[in-house]
Amino acid sequence: MSKIIIYKQIKFIYYLRNILIQMVPKGLYENSLQRRLASLNNFDKAVLLDRVNYYNRLETPTLLGDNAHVLKRLKIFKSPREYKFDTFEYTRYFKRDLKANFIFGDVIHTYEFPTIQKSRPIASDNCNAVLLKLDKSRHFVFVKDKKKISSKKNMLIGRGSVYQEHRIRFMKMYFDHPLCDLGQINKMGGNIKWLKPKISLSAHLNFKFILSLEGNDVATNLKWIMSSNSIAVMPKPKYETWFMEGRLIPNFHYILINDDFTDLDEKIKYYIDNEAAAQAIVTNANRHVQQFLNKKQEDIISLLVLNKYFYYTMQTDKYDLL
């Protein structure tokens, strides 16, 4: 079997790093902000501008509302810790008396005032929903898959929690389908007949097609699928994160199936019979993933997103973007 490398943060190291970050005097971070922003000249400015304006669509001065949090009062070690660690990684460079609205967790709405969040709806006026790369130890997992798509099983693999109505409906339609290997991993809810043990990420990658259904918000597995030599199979996404799911093109980055799932059989058979088309999707998906692998560029974009947020919420008088 070809070697599969999984790029995932080790929890112990992740927590230790964030504990150590808290020990550094906050003034040192604030004093280094301009130096950090100055490094944007090392990157393609058009790319930076495009992504910053995608995540933060504020264009006019906007009120924060009365419930905004002062940065220095954000309780980093209270749940949800991962969200707060990832937020503090970048807010630490800004003055501690600045304010922001935060909504942590699986977010599927846009709020009245500018709010920093992990996810947002795609098909609505989402300007007030400002995206940061949050809960990244869970969501931003990538793989290096050496196994060619041509050598993988001509089947759709799917393992996950099944309790949302749309996931239940999919299982009812395809659990026993000969082109599918599906299983429910949650013991409560769903259907006991669908229960199967969890399988490893590596085991998923023995299959040519991997099911990627949204859950409470985005599909968590989409990012590592698109970094592999397998193909994500899913309806058009309704929600997006820092991964910019709203920019994914059907049958270019993933295999599109109808919202009612009725064309799954047709789509799987088509890409089994058309290997070149399947390989093209893998290539395009891998290319989309590449932009998230440059840590220094990701850092600059994150700082610029926040810098723009504080400027358009009328808290700073300078917006250092290009």
pLDDT tens, per residue, the chain with 322 residues: 445 656 556 676 777 777 777 777 777 777 788 888 888 889 999 999 999 999 999 999 999 999 999 999 888 878 888 999 999 999 999 999 999 999 999 999 999 999 999 999 998 899 999 999 999 988 899 999 999 999 999 999 999 999 999 999 999 999 999 999 999 999 998 899 999 999 999 999 999 999 999 999 999 999 999 999 999 999 999 999 999 999 999 999 999 999 999 999 999 999 999 999 999 999 999 999 999 999 999 999 999 999 999 999 999 886 655 4
- With contact defined as beta carbons under 8 Å apart, do 257 and 235 qualify? yes
Asked whether the beta carbons of 214 and 237 are under 8 A apart, the reply is: yes
Predicted local confidence at residue 319, as pLDDT: 65
Q: Are 101 and 218 in contact (CB under 8 A)?
A: no
Write down the pLDDT at residue 1.
40
Q: Looking at this protein, which amino acid is placed at residue 22? A: Q
HSE on the CB side for 114, CA within 13 Å?
A: 24
| Alpha-carbon distances, residue 80 vs 103, 104, 217, 223, 302 (angstroms) | 11, 7, 17, 22, 20
- Name the residue with tokens 């299959």: 207
Distance CA 272, CA 297 (A): 37
Which strand (E) or helix (H) includes residue 4? strand 4-7
SS3 100: strand
Question: What ranges in 175-294 are assigned the alpha helix state H?
Answer: 201-204, 222-226, 264-273, 275-290
- The answer to whether residues 314 and 61 touch, using CB atoms and an 8 Å cutoff, is yes
pLDDT of res. 34: 83
What domains appear along the chain, each with residue ranges and CATH number?
Answer: 4-139+293-312 (no CATH), 145-290 (3.40.50.2000)
Q: What is the pLDDT of residue 4?
A: 61
* Total count of residues recorded for the chain: 322
Q: What letter represents residue 151's amino acid? A: S
Q: What is the pLDDT of residue 9?
A: 63
Task: Give me the sign of the Cα torsion angle 267, 268, 272, 273.
Answer: negative
| Residues 148, 151: Cα–Cα separation, whole Å | 6
pTM of the model: 0.92
